[in-house]
Amino acid sequence: MSATFTLQSDSYTVYLSKPQWSGEDNKLNKNISIFDFWDNDFEAVDIDISSQPLRLIGLEKDEFGFCFPLCFPFGHNSIVTKFENINEMMNNHEEVTISGLGNSMDGTYIIKDFKFETLDKGRGYFAWELVLEKS
């Protein structure tokens, strides 16, 4: 079993460490209309699903962050490159195929939000959060 999963669009392929165990949230948002009748009766009608975002959180270690400028000419896939590519996919509203997470989560999505923060700059650890919408 691989320790990574893949985000692939027409423009980029990015490999990220698998999300934290129980670090996913696949909630369902619904459109519901409520009718208030004159006789003080109420009726709720389930119209449809408004959204079903998939939220993943994980940790990433930059294995190459300290080899600059030695490894720069070789085009390594540093954490900076990975995060820039994910931001480009999000900004361009590209469809992204997720694979490597299992049948329940693998599929085609649009990236709704992506953010990251430095946890330990000296060691190159970053926390990331990816919010996807089923396409």
Residue-wise pLDDT for 84-106, tens only, equals 999 999 999 999 999 999 888 89
Query: CB neighbours of 127 closer than 8 A, spacing ≥ 6?
Result: 57, 58, 59, 60, 116, 117, 119
Q: Per-residue confidence at 73, pLDDT binned at 50, 70, 90?
A: very low
User: How do residues 10-67 score in pLDDT, each as one tens digit?
Assistant: 999 999 999 887 545 555 555 667 777 778 787 777 666 655 678 899 998 876 555 5
Domains of the chain, first to last = 4-134 (2.40.30)
Burial class (CB in 10 A: 0-12, 13-18, 19+), 18: middle
- Distance between CA 33 and CA 44 in Å, rounded? 6
pTM given for the model: 0.71
- Distance between CA 123 and CA 56 in Å, rounded? 23
- Distance between CA 128 and CA 114 in Å, rounded? 7
